[in-house]
Every structure is written in C-alpha cells, then in structure tokens.
Amino acid sequence: MRRLYILVPAVVLGLIAAYFAARDSGEIRRPAPTGTSAATGPVTVTGTITLTLPGFVWESDGTCYGYSRNGDLVTGADVVIADETGEKLSVGRLDTGTVTMRADDPARAESCVMAWSVPDVPTGRRVYVVTVGDHDPRTVTAEQIRAARLALAIN
C-alpha cells in the first residue's frame, strides 16, 4: 500500500510537468476567447461595381465597360484600398464587365457588372477607403472588409 502512496503523487507530478513543458513549447494552444475581435491576417477583398445607362457601353460578346463619365472603368483599372489616413494598403484590378440585359426587352442593356479583387488587405483598421478608377472614394467599415465582399453602384 505504501508503494501506491508514493507512485500516485509521482505520476501526477510527472503529468503536470509534461503538460507545462508541452504548453511552453507551443504544442498546446489555447483557443481565442469567444466574444472578442481577435485580429486576423490579411484578406482578399472581392466585390463588384454596377454601372447603369448611360454610363457604359456593351459589345456583342456580352462584355461591357465604362463610358463618358465612367470612361475610367475599364478592364485592368485600379481598385485601391487605403486606411482612413489615406495610406494605400493594397491595389487590385477591375475584371472585364458583363452586361445584364433587361427582362422586358432582351435587346436592351440594363447594367454592366464589373468584378474586382484586392489581395492582401491588412485587417485591424477602424475604417477603410475604397477607390475605383478615378471615382470618388467610398468609406467602408472593418466589418465589411472582414466579410471580404463589397458591392458598389456607380451611376
């Protein structure tokens, strides 16, 4: 019986020492507390720009691009995401636009939707500023950036 009294505390002490050694080496990770907003790494923010007539033209293959006051909205145009101080955080590009035809008249266009993607946008800012082409900047929230999907309309 005496061996049991000596063996049990020795085993318990050994397990405790092993736990602390594993924790200190990084093998055991604690989960992030729930209900807090832990910062995450950079995200790729994607979105769309929707143009309405007369601000775009379309081709017979179904592609479209900005026209007149929207002439800067073409394939490859810059999409810049900056922080509230104006510091440029990342730059992406507009993709080729796709025309949407009117349901009541399939020969007439209704809108031009241009997708875009901006990689490596750092999280952790309070607000962000998105500028597409030469158009006025749009302020968006940190939550919108973390959601990584934005839809902007330009008329």
pLDDT tens digits for 6-20?
A: 444 444 444 444 444
**Residue range 108-138, pLDDT digits in tens:** 999 999 999 999 999 989 999 999 999 999 9
Give the phi and the psi of residue 99 in degrees, each rounded to 5.
-80, 145
Question: What's the CA gap between 143 and 134, in Å, rounded?
Answer: 25
pLDDT at 16: 46
Comparing 1 with 145, the larger pLDDT belongs to: 145
Letter for the amino acid at 3?
R
pLDDT at 155: 65
State the DSSP code for 154: E
H/E stretch holding 48 reads strand 43-52
Letter for the amino acid at 35?
G
DSSP letter string over 82-143? EETT--EEEEEEEPPEEEEE-SS-TTSEEEEEEEEEEEEEPP--SEEEEEETTSPPEEEEHH
pLDDT at 39: 55
**Residue range 59-115, pLDDT digits in tens:** 999 999 999 989 999 999 999 999 999 999 999 999 999 999 999 998 899 999 999
Q: How confident is the model at residue 146 (pLDDT cuts 50, 70, 90)?
A: confident
